[in-house]
Chains A and B, each alone.
Chain A
Amino acid sequence: MAGGGSLGEGREKTKRGKPSKRKKKKRVGFHLDMTPLVDIAFLLLTFFMFTTTMTQPQVMEMLVPPEIDKEVKVKISELYTLRLRADGKLFYHLAEDAPQLMELKNLKRMAFEENLKQKNRLITVLKIDDGAPYEMVIKILDELNLAEGDLVPELSKLKMTRERRFTIAPMTDKDIEEIKSL
């Protein structure tokens, strides 16, 4: 048959140069028709290949402060406020400066620089309009997280451990008014 028997014979005599101790057995070549097996195997293989999704959802961790009516006093000079308008435009200001428009792609660099200047003292406040698209919110949070990734090694050079100070605050009418005409 298909060489099944004859294949082993030559090998048995010399195994890595040495004569084999195994008793020489005459093999009767036997043939198995594997076609149905292969058919089924490929059927299942294609099924599992098409049904699996490789991308698993990821998560972004969030912490919100519990409901305690305790006043937390902060210095206004340490506040870095970001405001997201309903149309998806982002505004920022430091302390009590006038709000300025910011491109999303600059956010990472800005957050990084401002945080480095104030060395752990800076509190990032994010105020989001109710009408803003959720996608933008995630993008902003993502940029801030990316900045965080740069900050940690930079601060550890200065022998400091990064303590993140970040909060999502409600957008007040005053906030909306301030950035309305910009």
Chain B
Amino acid sequence: MAKVKMKRTGFVLDMTPLVDIAFLLLTFFMFTAKFKSEAESEQKFQIKRPKASADTAKLPDKNLAIIKIAIDSITPNDTSYYYEMSNEKDRSIVYATAPGLDDAQRKKMQIKASLTTLDGLIRETRITNLNTKFAIDADKRVRFKWVSDCMEVMRKNRATAFNLVTDKKQGM
């Protein structure tokens, strides 16, 4: 029997489940997305964090002051301290009152600091808001001297409890 040649008509694909899943994923990623803070978008360096496995605590979001010890990406031997705060209200007060800063620095979100300016910044932060949590976010390649000096400055200002920022070790 001869096959009847069917004329092809445009076929319709039911895209509903596809769209369902696509939107589900989209909403998931939209809600979980966390964008870089203003201070981070300013920075030109990237910190390679050391890896640790024992701790599971997460970095607090509120009232956080981070001291970053980074190796500048342009000149590899240039290590500096960078100071940033997450609380905007406190930040404006601290940056305006901390000694040893010029006007250009005060406007920035992230301050490149020496050890003495860091001392002033930490002191002002402690005066402004006693609940501020401190964290040291240091590159794993820096010498320990940078970290111990920073810890000493914090100790002087009675910020004796602080966090060291690490990355999770994979495969543990």
Contact = CB atoms under 8 A, between A and B. Distances in A.
Nearest to B55: A60
Contacts of A42: 22
Interface string A46-74: 00110111011111111111110000000
Contacts of B135: 59
A116 interface: no
B53 to A, nearest CB: 6
B140 A60 contact: no
A158 interface: no
B163 interface: yes
B160 interface: yes
Given A58-B59, A66-B155, A130 B144 contact: yes
B2 interface: no
Contact of B58 (A51, A59, A130): A59
A135 B48 CA distance: 10
Interface of A: 2, 34, 37-38, 41-42, 44-45, 48-49, 51-53, 55-67, 84, 128-135, 137-139, 141-142, 145-146, 148-149, 168, 170
Contacts of A145: 52, 54-55
Interface in B108-157: 135, 137-148, 151, 154-156
Given A38-B18, A45-B29, A56-B59, A134 B50 contact: yes
Interface in B42-80: 49-59, 69
B107 interface: no
Contacts of B154: 64
B85 interface: no
**Secondary structure of the A contact surface, majority rule:** mixed
Given A64-B155, A131-B144, A133-B140, A48 B57 contact: no
Contact of B55 (A41, A61, A84): A61
Contacts of B34: 52-53
Contacts of A67: 155-156, 158
B140 A135 contact: yes
Contact of B141 (A63, A65, A134): A134
Contact of B57 (A2, A61, A84, A148): A61
Contacts of B156: 67
Contacts of B168: 55, 58
B56 A61 contact: no
B165 A129 contact: no
Contact of B145 (A45, A52, A131, A168): A131
